[in-house]
Amino acid sequence: MTGEIAQVGVIGLGTMGAGIVEVFARAGLRVVGVDGSQELADRGRGFLESSTGRAVSRGRLAESAQQEILDRVTWTAEYDALADCDLVIEAVPERLDIKTAILTKLDGVVRPDTVLASNTSSLSLTEIAAATARPERVVGMHFFNPAPVLKLVEVITTVLSDDAVVERVRDLAERLGKKPVVVRDRAGFVANALLITYLARAIRTYETGHVSREDLDDAGRVGVGFPMGPLTLSDLIGLDVVKEVCDVLYAATHDPSAAPPALLQQLVAAGRLGRKTGSGFYDYEKAGSGTVTPAAAPDDVKPAAQVVVVGESAAASDLAGQIGGGGASSVEWVSTAGARDSLAGVDVVILASDTSPDWVAELLATMDSGATLAVASPGGAAATPAASGGVTVVALRVHPATKGGRLAEVLRSTGAPQVATLRATLSAAGFVVVGGRLRAGGVVDALLYPHLNDAVRMLDSGYATAADIDTAMTAGCGYPEGPLAMIDRIGPAQVAAVLTTMRDETGEVGLTPSPLLREATAAGQSLHG
Ligand code: CAA
Protein backbone atom coordinates (compact mmCIF):
# COMPACT_ATOMS: atom_id res chain seq x y z
CA MET A 1 0.00 0.00 0.00
CA THR A 2 1.29 3.44 -0.88
CA GLY A 3 -1.71 5.63 0.07
CA GLU A 4 -1.68 8.33 2.66
CA ILE A 5 -1.10 7.19 6.22
CA ALA A 6 -4.44 7.78 7.94
CA GLN A 7 -4.45 5.56 11.01
CA VAL A 8 -1.48 5.01 13.30
CA GLY A 9 -0.73 3.04 16.44
CA VAL A 10 1.50 4.14 19.31
CA ILE A 11 2.79 1.51 21.74
CA GLY A 12 4.04 2.71 25.11
CA LEU A 13 2.20 5.70 26.55
CA GLY A 14 4.77 7.30 28.84
CA THR A 15 5.91 10.91 28.37
CA MET A 16 7.20 10.37 24.83
CA GLY A 17 4.47 7.97 23.68
CA ALA A 18 1.66 10.21 24.93
CA GLY A 19 3.35 13.22 23.32
CA ILE A 20 3.58 11.33 20.01
CA VAL A 21 -0.13 10.41 20.25
CA GLU A 22 -0.88 14.13 20.66
CA VAL A 23 1.19 15.04 17.61
CA PHE A 24 -0.66 12.51 15.40
CA ALA A 25 -4.11 13.34 16.75
CA ARG A 26 -3.57 17.08 16.39
CA ALA A 27 -2.63 16.48 12.71
CA GLY A 28 -5.99 14.79 12.12
CA LEU A 29 -4.89 11.13 12.09
CA ARG A 30 -6.83 8.39 13.87
CA VAL A 31 -4.68 6.94 16.64
CA VAL A 32 -4.72 3.71 18.63
CA GLY A 33 -2.77 4.11 21.87
CA VAL A 34 -1.58 0.83 23.39
CA ASP A 35 0.11 0.07 26.67
CA GLY A 36 0.68 -3.04 28.79
CA SER A 37 -2.58 -2.72 30.76
CA GLN A 38 -5.83 -0.77 30.47
CA GLU A 39 -4.69 1.19 33.53
CA LEU A 40 -1.51 2.32 31.74
CA ALA A 41 -3.51 3.09 28.60
CA ASP A 42 -5.87 5.25 30.68
CA ARG A 43 -2.85 7.02 32.18
CA GLY A 44 -1.86 7.89 28.58
CA ARG A 45 -5.33 9.33 28.01
CA GLY A 46 -4.80 11.42 31.19
CA PHE A 47 -1.52 12.83 29.76
CA LEU A 48 -3.30 13.83 26.54
CA GLU A 49 -6.22 15.37 28.42
CA SER A 50 -3.97 17.47 30.64
CA SER A 51 -1.60 18.54 27.82
CA THR A 52 -4.44 19.65 25.53
CA GLY A 53 -6.30 21.06 28.57
CA ARG A 54 -3.28 23.30 29.27
CA ALA A 55 -3.40 24.52 25.67
CA VAL A 56 -7.13 25.30 26.08
CA SER A 57 -6.54 27.21 29.32
CA ARG A 58 -3.78 29.24 27.62
CA GLY A 59 -6.18 30.13 24.84
CA ARG A 60 -4.11 28.17 22.27
CA LEU A 61 -6.77 25.58 21.47
CA ALA A 62 -10.57 25.79 21.27
CA GLU A 63 -12.47 23.39 23.55
CA SER A 64 -14.22 21.91 20.50
CA ALA A 65 -10.81 21.25 18.87
CA GLN A 66 -9.61 19.58 22.07
CA GLN A 67 -12.65 17.30 21.98
CA GLU A 68 -11.96 16.40 18.34
CA ILE A 69 -8.37 15.51 19.23
CA LEU A 70 -9.50 13.31 22.13
CA ASP A 71 -12.15 11.64 19.97
CA ARG A 72 -9.54 10.59 17.40
CA VAL A 73 -7.75 8.35 19.91
CA THR A 74 -8.70 4.94 21.30
CA TRP A 75 -6.86 3.67 24.37
CA THR A 76 -6.37 -0.05 24.87
CA ALA A 77 -4.13 -2.87 26.05
CA GLU A 78 -5.15 -5.07 23.06
CA TYR A 79 -2.67 -5.39 20.18
CA ASP A 80 -5.47 -6.60 17.88
CA ALA A 81 -6.80 -3.03 17.86
CA LEU A 82 -3.73 -2.15 15.74
CA ALA A 83 -4.73 -4.47 12.88
CA ASP A 84 -5.89 -1.65 10.55
CA CYS A 85 -3.04 0.77 11.23
CA ASP A 86 -0.91 2.03 8.33
CA LEU A 87 1.99 2.72 10.68
CA VAL A 88 2.73 1.63 14.25
CA ILE A 89 5.44 3.31 16.33
CA GLU A 90 6.80 1.97 19.58
CA ALA A 91 7.98 4.29 22.39
CA VAL A 92 8.64 1.69 25.08
CA PRO A 93 11.71 1.64 27.41
CA GLU A 94 15.12 1.49 25.73
CA ARG A 95 15.69 -2.26 25.90
CA LEU A 96 16.45 -4.14 22.71
CA ASP A 97 14.72 -7.31 23.96
CA ILE A 98 11.50 -5.43 24.77
CA LYS A 99 11.46 -3.50 21.49
CA THR A 100 12.17 -6.54 19.29
CA ALA A 101 9.58 -8.62 21.17
CA ILE A 102 6.95 -5.94 20.49
CA LEU A 103 7.79 -5.48 16.81
CA THR A 104 7.92 -9.22 16.10
CA LYS A 105 4.54 -9.60 17.84
CA LEU A 106 3.21 -6.83 15.61
CA ASP A 107 4.35 -8.76 12.52
CA GLY A 108 1.54 -11.20 13.24
CA VAL A 109 -1.09 -8.52 13.93
CA VAL A 110 -0.78 -5.78 11.31
CA ARG A 111 -1.07 -5.92 7.50
CA PRO A 112 2.06 -6.91 5.55
CA ASP A 113 2.34 -3.37 4.15
CA THR A 114 2.14 -1.64 7.55
CA VAL A 115 5.22 0.39 8.41
CA LEU A 116 6.80 -0.30 11.80
CA ALA A 117 8.63 2.58 13.44
CA SER A 118 10.76 2.88 16.55
CA ASN A 119 11.29 5.98 18.64
CA THR A 120 14.56 4.56 19.92
CA SER A 121 17.09 7.20 20.93
CA SER A 122 20.03 4.95 21.53
CA LEU A 123 19.59 1.39 20.28
CA SER A 124 20.69 0.07 16.90
CA LEU A 125 17.77 0.43 14.53
CA THR A 126 19.42 -2.10 12.26
CA GLU A 127 19.24 -4.76 14.98
CA ILE A 128 15.62 -3.86 15.70
CA ALA A 129 14.69 -4.04 11.98
CA ALA A 130 16.59 -7.27 11.35
CA ALA A 131 14.65 -9.00 14.13
CA THR A 132 11.31 -8.49 12.31
CA ALA A 133 9.81 -10.27 9.30
CA ARG A 134 9.74 -6.94 7.37
CA PRO A 135 13.10 -5.24 7.89
CA GLU A 136 12.65 -3.11 4.75
CA ARG A 137 9.52 -1.56 6.29
CA VAL A 138 11.11 -0.68 9.65
CA VAL A 139 12.35 2.89 10.18
CA GLY A 140 13.30 5.11 13.07
CA MET A 141 11.05 8.05 13.89
CA HIS A 142 12.86 9.85 16.67
CA PHE A 143 10.81 12.56 18.37
CA PHE A 144 12.11 15.12 20.88
CA ASN A 145 10.79 15.90 24.33
CA PRO A 146 8.32 17.62 24.61
CA ALA A 147 7.12 15.99 21.36
CA PRO A 148 4.15 18.35 20.83
CA VAL A 149 6.49 21.36 20.96
CA LEU A 150 9.78 20.40 19.32
CA LYS A 151 9.68 20.15 15.54
CA LEU A 152 12.45 17.67 14.82
CA VAL A 153 11.80 14.12 13.74
CA GLU A 154 14.94 12.17 12.89
CA VAL A 155 13.94 9.60 10.28
CA ILE A 156 16.45 6.79 10.63
CA THR A 157 17.21 4.42 7.79
CA THR A 158 19.17 1.18 7.77
CA VAL A 159 20.97 -0.75 5.06
CA LEU A 160 17.77 -2.81 4.85
CA SER A 161 15.32 0.09 4.38
CA ASP A 162 13.06 0.44 1.34
CA ASP A 163 13.50 3.99 -0.04
CA ALA A 164 9.79 4.33 -0.81
CA VAL A 165 8.94 3.56 2.81
CA VAL A 166 11.46 6.15 4.02
CA GLU A 167 9.89 8.71 1.68
CA ARG A 168 6.40 7.93 3.03
CA VAL A 169 7.61 8.42 6.59
CA ARG A 170 9.33 11.67 5.72
CA ASP A 171 6.10 12.90 4.09
CA LEU A 172 4.17 11.87 7.17
CA ALA A 173 6.53 13.84 9.42
CA GLU A 174 5.96 16.88 7.21
CA ARG A 175 2.18 16.42 7.42
CA LEU A 176 2.59 16.44 11.20
CA GLY A 177 4.11 19.91 10.91
CA LYS A 178 7.53 18.55 11.85
CA LYS A 179 10.96 19.06 10.32
CA PRO A 180 12.26 15.66 9.27
CA VAL A 181 15.98 15.01 8.96
CA VAL A 182 16.75 11.70 7.25
CA VAL A 183 19.96 10.00 8.41
CA ARG A 184 21.51 6.56 8.53
CA ASP A 185 21.58 4.41 11.63
CA ARG A 186 24.47 5.49 13.82
CA ALA A 187 24.94 5.82 17.58
CA GLY A 188 23.06 8.89 18.82
CA PHE A 189 22.00 9.88 15.27
CA VAL A 190 22.56 13.65 14.85
CA ALA A 191 20.96 15.40 17.79
CA ASN A 192 21.75 13.03 20.65
CA ALA A 193 25.32 12.45 19.51
CA LEU A 194 25.92 16.20 19.84
CA LEU A 195 23.57 17.05 22.70
CA ILE A 196 24.35 14.19 25.07
CA THR A 197 28.12 14.67 24.69
CA TYR A 198 27.59 18.36 25.53
CA LEU A 199 25.52 17.40 28.58
CA ALA A 200 28.18 14.91 29.74
CA ARG A 201 30.84 17.62 29.50
CA ALA A 202 28.67 20.02 31.47
CA ILE A 203 28.12 17.40 34.17
CA ARG A 204 31.89 16.85 34.39
CA THR A 205 32.37 20.62 34.81
CA TYR A 206 29.81 20.56 37.62
CA GLU A 207 31.67 17.63 39.21
CA THR A 208 34.76 19.83 39.64
CA GLY A 209 32.81 21.83 42.24
CA HIS A 210 34.04 25.13 40.81
CA VAL A 211 30.74 26.15 39.25
CA SER A 212 27.38 25.93 40.96
CA ARG A 213 24.56 24.10 39.17
CA GLU A 214 22.62 27.38 38.83
CA ASP A 215 25.63 29.20 37.38
CA LEU A 216 26.36 26.40 34.94
CA ASP A 217 22.75 26.44 33.79
CA ASP A 218 22.78 30.23 33.46
CA ALA A 219 25.94 29.95 31.33
CA GLY A 220 23.98 27.80 28.83
CA ARG A 221 20.61 29.56 29.04
CA VAL A 222 21.71 33.18 29.30
CA GLY A 223 25.31 33.12 28.05
CA VAL A 224 24.66 31.02 24.95
CA GLY A 225 20.91 31.59 24.61
CA PHE A 226 19.83 27.92 24.79
CA PRO A 227 16.27 27.41 26.06
CA MET A 228 17.55 25.61 29.18
CA GLY A 229 20.82 25.07 30.99
CA PRO A 230 22.47 21.64 30.66
CA LEU A 231 21.63 20.34 34.14
CA THR A 232 17.98 21.43 33.93
CA LEU A 233 17.78 19.81 30.50
CA SER A 234 19.37 16.58 31.77
CA ASP A 235 16.74 16.46 34.51
CA LEU A 236 14.01 17.01 31.87
CA ILE A 237 15.30 14.26 29.56
CA GLY A 238 15.81 11.83 32.48
CA LEU A 239 19.25 11.02 33.86
CA ASP A 240 18.78 7.33 33.08
CA VAL A 241 18.19 8.24 29.42
CA VAL A 242 21.20 10.57 29.38
CA LYS A 243 23.35 7.79 30.83
CA GLU A 244 22.01 5.19 28.37
CA VAL A 245 22.86 7.40 25.42
CA CYS A 246 26.32 8.12 26.91
CA ASP A 247 26.89 4.37 27.23
CA VAL A 248 25.91 3.78 23.61
CA LEU A 249 27.98 6.69 22.30
CA TYR A 250 31.01 5.65 24.31
CA ALA A 251 30.71 2.02 23.22
CA ALA A 252 30.53 3.13 19.58
CA THR A 253 33.25 5.78 19.60
CA HIS A 254 35.42 5.30 22.72
CA ASP A 255 35.46 9.08 22.85
CA PRO A 256 36.19 9.91 26.51
CA SER A 257 34.02 13.02 26.32
CA ALA A 258 30.96 10.82 25.72
CA ALA A 259 31.64 8.51 28.68
CA PRO A 260 28.99 8.79 31.42
CA PRO A 261 30.39 11.01 34.20
CA ALA A 262 30.69 9.41 37.66
CA LEU A 263 28.12 11.76 39.19
CA LEU A 264 25.59 10.86 36.50
CA GLN A 265 26.12 7.16 37.17
CA GLN A 266 25.71 7.71 40.90
CA LEU A 267 22.49 9.72 40.55
CA VAL A 268 21.04 7.01 38.31
CA ALA A 269 22.10 4.25 40.72
CA ALA A 270 20.48 6.23 43.55
CA GLY A 271 17.20 6.50 41.61
CA ARG A 272 17.47 10.28 41.25
CA LEU A 273 16.46 10.36 37.60
CA GLY A 274 15.43 14.01 37.26
CA ARG A 275 11.98 15.58 37.02
CA LYS A 276 10.17 12.28 36.63
CA THR A 277 11.29 11.04 40.08
CA GLY A 278 11.14 14.48 41.73
CA SER A 279 14.91 14.88 42.06
CA GLY A 280 18.04 14.83 39.95
CA PHE A 281 20.51 17.69 39.82
CA TYR A 282 17.67 19.72 41.33
CA ASP A 283 14.84 18.84 43.70
CA TYR A 284 11.33 19.38 42.35
CA GLU A 285 8.12 20.11 44.24
CA LYS A 286 6.80 16.69 43.17
CA ALA A 287 7.58 13.89 40.70
CA GLY A 288 6.83 15.05 37.16
CA SER A 289 6.88 18.74 38.02
CA GLY A 290 9.30 21.23 36.51
CA THR A 291 9.09 23.52 39.55
CA VAL A 292 12.37 23.47 41.46
CA THR A 293 12.31 23.50 45.26
CA PRO A 294 14.32 26.63 46.08
CA ALA A 295 17.75 26.07 47.62
CA ALA A 296 18.69 28.00 50.77
CA ALA A 297 18.12 31.74 50.45
CA PRO A 298 21.22 33.50 49.13
CA ASP A 299 23.23 35.71 51.49
CA ASP A 300 21.99 39.26 51.48
CA VAL A 301 25.10 40.99 50.12
CA LYS A 302 24.81 44.67 49.23
CA PRO A 303 26.10 46.07 45.93
CA ALA A 304 29.21 48.26 46.13
CA ALA A 305 28.46 51.82 47.23
CA GLN A 306 31.02 53.20 44.81
CA VAL A 307 32.26 51.75 41.53
CA VAL A 308 34.86 53.15 39.17
CA VAL A 309 35.00 51.95 35.58
CA VAL A 310 38.30 52.68 33.87
CA GLY A 311 38.68 52.64 30.10
CA GLU A 312 38.23 54.61 26.93
CA SER A 313 36.35 51.99 24.95
CA ALA A 314 32.68 51.79 24.09
CA ALA A 315 32.60 48.63 26.24
CA ALA A 316 33.72 50.67 29.26
CA SER A 317 31.06 53.33 28.78
CA ASP A 318 28.46 50.62 28.19
CA LEU A 319 29.41 48.88 31.44
CA ALA A 320 29.39 52.12 33.40
CA GLY A 321 26.00 52.97 31.90
CA GLN A 322 24.48 49.64 32.81
CA ILE A 323 25.84 49.67 36.38
CA GLY A 324 24.75 53.28 36.90
CA GLY A 325 21.37 52.49 35.33
CA GLY A 326 20.83 49.79 37.98
CA GLY A 327 20.85 52.57 40.56
CA ALA A 328 22.30 50.50 43.42
CA SER A 329 25.83 51.88 43.11
CA SER A 330 27.28 55.25 42.37
CA VAL A 331 29.47 54.94 39.28
CA GLU A 332 32.26 57.04 37.99
CA TRP A 333 33.58 56.41 34.51
CA VAL A 334 37.13 57.56 33.83
CA SER A 335 39.02 57.04 30.64
CA THR A 336 42.39 56.42 32.31
CA ALA A 337 43.35 55.67 35.87
CA GLY A 338 45.52 58.78 35.85
CA ALA A 339 42.31 60.81 35.64
CA ARG A 340 41.80 60.00 39.29
CA ASP A 341 44.39 60.59 42.01
CA SER A 342 43.50 57.61 44.07
CA LEU A 343 41.08 54.72 44.14
CA ALA A 344 40.92 54.73 47.94
CA GLY A 345 37.37 54.32 49.24
CA VAL A 346 36.19 52.61 46.04
CA ASP A 347 34.81 49.08 46.62
CA VAL A 348 34.88 47.86 43.04
CA VAL A 349 37.10 48.99 40.17
CA ILE A 350 36.40 47.61 36.71
CA LEU A 351 39.25 47.89 34.28
CA ALA A 352 37.82 47.82 30.78
CA SER A 353 40.76 48.72 28.60
CA ASP A 354 43.70 46.87 27.16
CA THR A 355 46.56 47.44 29.49
CA SER A 356 49.93 46.29 30.73
CA PRO A 357 50.54 44.41 33.99
CA ASP A 358 52.59 47.41 35.23
CA TRP A 359 49.63 49.66 34.84
CA VAL A 360 47.44 47.20 36.76
CA ALA A 361 50.04 47.25 39.56
CA GLU A 362 49.82 51.04 39.68
CA LEU A 363 46.06 50.91 39.97
CA LEU A 364 46.23 48.29 42.69
CA ALA A 365 48.63 50.35 44.74
CA THR A 366 46.01 53.06 45.25
CA MET A 367 43.14 50.68 46.13
CA ASP A 368 41.92 49.77 49.63
CA SER A 369 42.52 46.34 51.08
CA GLY A 370 39.28 44.33 50.74
CA ALA A 371 38.30 46.05 47.47
CA THR A 372 37.90 44.17 44.17
CA LEU A 373 39.54 44.86 40.83
CA ALA A 374 37.69 43.25 37.93
CA VAL A 375 39.75 43.09 34.75
CA ALA A 376 37.38 43.19 31.80
CA SER A 377 39.97 44.08 29.18
CA PRO A 378 40.16 41.64 26.28
CA GLY A 379 43.80 40.77 26.88
CA GLY A 380 43.77 41.22 30.63
CA ALA A 381 42.53 37.91 31.94
CA ALA A 382 45.75 36.00 31.39
CA ALA A 383 47.75 38.59 33.31
CA THR A 384 45.29 38.77 36.19
CA PRO A 385 46.95 38.06 39.54
CA ALA A 386 44.86 36.44 42.30
CA ALA A 387 45.28 39.21 44.83
CA SER A 388 47.59 42.01 45.70
CA GLY A 389 47.83 44.09 48.87
CA GLY A 390 44.50 42.72 50.05
CA VAL A 391 42.77 43.63 46.79
CA THR A 392 41.09 40.68 45.07
CA VAL A 393 41.68 40.62 41.35
CA VAL A 394 39.33 38.72 39.05
CA ALA A 395 38.58 38.55 35.34
CA LEU A 396 35.22 39.80 34.13
CA ARG A 397 33.63 38.79 30.84
CA VAL A 398 30.47 40.46 29.71
CA HIS A 399 28.52 38.66 27.01
CA PRO A 400 26.13 40.07 24.41
CA ALA A 401 22.48 39.91 25.47
CA THR A 402 20.49 36.80 24.51
CA LYS A 403 16.80 35.97 24.94
CA GLY A 404 17.64 34.87 28.50
CA GLY A 405 19.28 38.17 29.52
CA ARG A 406 22.81 39.51 29.70
CA LEU A 407 25.50 37.43 31.31
CA ALA A 408 28.58 38.53 33.22
CA GLU A 409 31.20 35.91 34.08
CA VAL A 410 33.41 36.50 37.10
CA LEU A 411 36.47 34.26 36.93
CA ARG A 412 38.68 33.74 39.99
CA SER A 413 42.05 32.08 40.37
CA THR A 414 42.06 29.00 42.54
CA GLY A 415 42.12 30.10 46.17
CA ALA A 416 41.06 33.70 45.49
CA PRO A 417 38.33 34.85 47.87
CA GLN A 418 34.69 35.08 46.87
CA VAL A 419 33.72 38.41 45.36
CA ALA A 420 30.19 38.71 46.66
CA THR A 421 30.12 42.52 46.47
CA LEU A 422 31.11 42.51 42.80
CA ARG A 423 28.50 39.84 42.05
CA ALA A 424 25.82 41.82 43.92
CA THR A 425 26.83 44.99 42.05
CA LEU A 426 26.53 43.30 38.66
CA SER A 427 23.24 41.59 39.63
CA ALA A 428 21.76 44.89 40.79
CA ALA A 429 22.74 46.31 37.38
CA GLY A 430 20.65 43.63 35.66
CA PHE A 431 23.36 41.15 34.72
CA VAL A 432 22.91 37.44 35.32
CA VAL A 433 26.18 36.66 37.09
CA VAL A 434 28.09 33.39 36.79
CA GLY A 435 31.19 32.55 38.82
CA GLY A 436 33.91 30.21 37.64
CA ARG A 437 37.61 29.52 37.49
CA LEU A 438 40.13 31.64 35.67
CA ARG A 439 40.71 29.05 32.98
CA ALA A 440 40.72 29.16 29.19
CA GLY A 441 37.18 29.59 27.92
CA GLY A 442 35.82 30.58 31.35
CA VAL A 443 32.45 28.92 31.85
CA VAL A 444 30.46 29.86 28.74
CA ASP A 445 33.00 29.28 25.97
CA ALA A 446 34.32 26.16 27.71
CA LEU A 447 30.76 24.81 27.65
CA LEU A 448 29.93 25.85 24.10
CA TYR A 449 33.06 25.60 21.96
CA PRO A 450 33.79 21.87 22.37
CA HIS A 451 30.13 21.29 21.41
CA LEU A 452 30.61 23.39 18.28
CA ASN A 453 33.78 21.46 17.50
CA ASP A 454 31.82 18.19 17.74
CA ALA A 455 29.31 19.55 15.23
CA VAL A 456 32.13 20.35 12.79
CA ARG A 457 33.56 16.87 13.29
CA MET A 458 30.19 15.37 12.44
CA LEU A 459 29.99 17.49 9.29
CA ASP A 460 33.54 16.47 8.37
CA SER A 461 32.65 12.79 8.85
CA GLY A 462 30.08 13.03 6.04
CA TYR A 463 27.29 11.69 8.26
CA ALA A 464 25.05 14.75 7.98
CA THR A 465 24.94 18.00 6.02
CA ALA A 466 25.45 21.41 7.62
CA ALA A 467 21.76 22.17 7.07
CA ASP A 468 20.70 18.88 8.72
CA ILE A 469 22.97 19.44 11.73
CA ASP A 470 21.66 22.95 12.27
CA THR A 471 18.04 21.89 11.75
CA ALA A 472 18.48 19.02 14.20
CA MET A 473 19.69 21.32 16.96
CA THR A 474 17.27 24.19 16.36
CA ALA A 475 14.19 22.05 15.75
CA GLY A 476 15.10 19.26 18.20
CA CYS A 477 16.61 21.17 21.10
CA GLY A 478 15.24 24.69 20.64
CA TYR A 479 18.63 26.29 19.93
CA PRO A 480 18.30 29.89 18.76
CA GLU A 481 20.61 29.01 15.84
CA GLY A 482 22.40 25.85 14.78
CA PRO A 483 25.94 25.12 15.95
CA LEU A 484 27.46 25.67 12.52
CA ALA A 485 25.62 28.97 12.10
CA MET A 486 26.95 29.92 15.55
CA ILE A 487 30.52 29.26 14.41
CA ASP A 488 29.96 31.36 11.31
CA ARG A 489 28.68 34.21 13.50
CA ILE A 490 31.41 33.98 16.16
CA GLY A 491 34.11 33.34 13.56
CA PRO A 492 35.85 29.97 13.04
CA ALA A 493 39.22 31.55 13.97
CA GLN A 494 37.95 32.67 17.36
CA VAL A 495 36.43 29.25 18.13
CA ALA A 496 39.60 27.46 17.01
CA ALA A 497 41.82 29.80 19.05
CA VAL A 498 39.91 29.27 22.30
CA LEU A 499 39.77 25.51 21.75
CA THR A 500 43.53 25.46 21.19
CA THR A 501 44.14 27.39 24.41
CA MET A 502 41.83 25.02 26.28
CA ARG A 503 43.61 22.02 24.80
CA ASP A 504 47.04 23.42 25.68
CA GLU A 505 45.92 24.18 29.23
CA THR A 506 44.30 20.79 29.90
CA GLY A 507 46.14 18.42 27.57
CA GLU A 508 42.74 17.09 26.45
CA VAL A 509 43.26 16.01 22.84
CA GLY A 510 39.52 16.04 22.10
CA LEU A 511 39.68 19.83 22.31
CA THR A 512 41.92 20.03 19.25
CA PRO A 513 40.07 22.08 16.63
CA SER A 514 38.71 19.73 13.99
CA PRO A 515 40.54 19.81 10.63
CA LEU A 516 37.52 21.35 8.92
CA LEU A 517 37.40 24.15 11.51
CA ARG A 518 41.08 24.84 10.85
CA GLU A 519 40.44 24.82 7.10
CA ALA A 520 37.51 27.22 7.47
CA THR A 521 39.75 29.44 9.60
CA ALA A 522 42.59 29.42 7.12
CA ALA A 523 40.36 29.95 4.08
CA GLY A 524 38.08 32.46 5.82
CA GLN A 525 35.16 30.29 4.74
CA SER A 526 31.71 29.75 6.18
CA LEU A 527 30.83 26.23 7.32
CA HIS A 528 27.61 26.44 5.34
CA GLY A 529 29.57 27.34 2.22
N1 CAA B 1 3.79 19.17 26.40
C2 CAA B 1 3.10 20.00 25.58
N3 CAA B 1 3.38 21.32 25.47
C4 CAA B 1 4.35 21.82 26.25
C5 CAA B 1 5.10 21.03 27.15
C6 CAA B 1 4.78 19.65 27.20
N7 CAA B 1 5.43 18.82 28.01
N8 CAA B 1 6.01 21.81 27.77
C9 CAA B 1 5.85 23.05 27.28
N10 CAA B 1 4.86 23.04 26.37
C11 CAA B 1 4.39 24.17 25.59
C12 CAA B 1 3.72 25.19 26.44
O13 CAA B 1 2.34 24.90 26.61
C14 CAA B 1 3.95 26.46 25.63
O15 CAA B 1 3.03 26.52 24.57
P16 CAA B 1 2.41 27.92 24.08
O17 CAA B 1 3.57 28.80 23.73
O18 CAA B 1 1.57 27.54 22.92
O19 CAA B 1 1.62 28.44 25.23
C20 CAA B 1 5.33 26.24 25.00
O21 CAA B 1 5.55 24.83 25.02
C22 CAA B 1 6.44 26.93 25.77
O23 CAA B 1 6.41 26.45 27.10
P24 CAA B 1 6.71 27.34 28.37
O25 CAA B 1 6.34 28.76 28.09
O26 CAA B 1 6.09 26.68 29.56
O27 CAA B 1 8.25 27.18 28.62
P28 CAA B 1 9.49 27.50 27.71
O29 CAA B 1 9.25 28.61 26.77
O30 CAA B 1 10.59 27.57 28.66
O31 CAA B 1 9.65 26.18 26.82
C32 CAA B 1 10.54 24.02 26.46
C33 CAA B 1 9.77 24.93 27.41
C34 CAA B 1 9.73 23.84 25.18
C35 CAA B 1 10.71 22.70 27.16
C36 CAA B 1 11.91 24.72 26.11
O37 CAA B 1 12.55 25.05 27.29
C38 CAA B 1 12.82 23.82 25.29
O39 CAA B 1 12.69 23.71 24.09
N40 CAA B 1 13.84 23.20 25.95
C41 CAA B 1 14.80 22.32 25.30
C42 CAA B 1 14.26 20.93 25.32
C43 CAA B 1 15.13 19.96 24.56
O44 CAA B 1 16.29 20.19 24.26
N45 CAA B 1 14.55 18.80 24.27
C46 CAA B 1 15.27 17.74 23.58
C47 CAA B 1 15.80 16.77 24.57
S48 CAA B 1 16.62 15.42 23.79
C49 CAA B 1 15.39 14.34 23.41
O50 CAA B 1 14.25 14.49 23.72
C51 CAA B 1 15.81 13.17 22.62
C52 CAA B 1 16.27 11.99 23.35
O53 CAA B 1 16.22 10.93 22.79
C54 CAA B 1 16.91 12.07 24.67
Query: What pLDDT digit, counting tens, does each position of 291-344 carry?
Result: 999 887 777 899 999 999 988 888 888 999 999 998 888 898 887 766 677 889
Mean per-residue pLDDT, 132-140: 98
Q: pLDDT band at residue 382, thresholds of 50, 70 and 90?
A: very low
Confidence at residue 192, expressed as pLDDT on a 0 to 100 scale: 98
> For residue 44, what are the CA distances in angstroms to 234, 371, 382?
23, 59, 55
Residue tagged active-site, from 192, 234, 257, 377: 192
Rounded to the nearest integer, the mean pLDDT of the chain is 93
Using the mean position of ligand 1's atoms as its centre, give its distance from the Cα of residue 148 in Å.
8
Interstrand relation of 115-118 and 87-90 (parallel, antiparallel or unpaired): parallel
Q: Is 48 in the pocket of ligand 1 (CB under 6 A)?
A: no
Tens digits of per-residue pLDDT, 105-124? 999 999 999 999 999 998 99
Q: Is the dihedral of CA 485, 489, 490, 491 positive or negative?
A: positive
Confidence at residue 381, expressed as pLDDT on a 0 to 100 scale: 46
Q: Is 248 in the pocket of ligand 1 (CB under 6 A)?
A: no
Mean per-residue pLDDT, 503-512: 96
Tens digits of per-residue pLDDT, 38-97? 999 999 999 999 999 999 999 999 999 999 999 999 999 999 999 999 999 999 999 999
Residue minimizing CA distance to atom 54 of ligand 1: 237
DSSP 340: S
Residue 356 clears pLDDT 70, i.e. is over it? no
Using the mean position of ligand 1's atoms as its centre, give its distance from the Cα of residue 451 in Å.
22
**What residues contact residue 17 under an 8 Å CB cut-off, 6+ apart?**
10, 11, 33, 35, 44, 91, 92, 119
Residue 280 clears pLDDT 70, i.e. is over it? yes
Mean per-residue pLDDT, 147-164: 98
Q: Is 232 in the pocket of ligand 1 (CB under 6 A)?
A: no
Confidence at residue 111, expressed as pLDDT on a 0 to 100 scale: 97
Q: pLDDT band at residue 383, thresholds of 50, 70 and 90?
A: low
Using the mean position of ligand 1's atoms as its centre, give its distance from the Cα of residue 146 in Å.
5
- pTM metric for this prediction: 0.95
Q: Does the annotation count 154 as an active-site position?
A: yes
Between residues 237 and 388, the one the model is more confident about: 237
By the 8 A CB rule, do 379 and 452 touch? no
Confidence at residue 366, expressed as pLDDT on a 0 to 100 scale: 87
Between residues 330 and 404, the one the model is more confident about: 404
**Which value, in Å, is the radius of gyration of the alpha carbons in the chain?**
26
Mean per-residue pLDDT, 18-32: 98
In the chain, the N- to C-terminal Cα span, in Å, equals 40
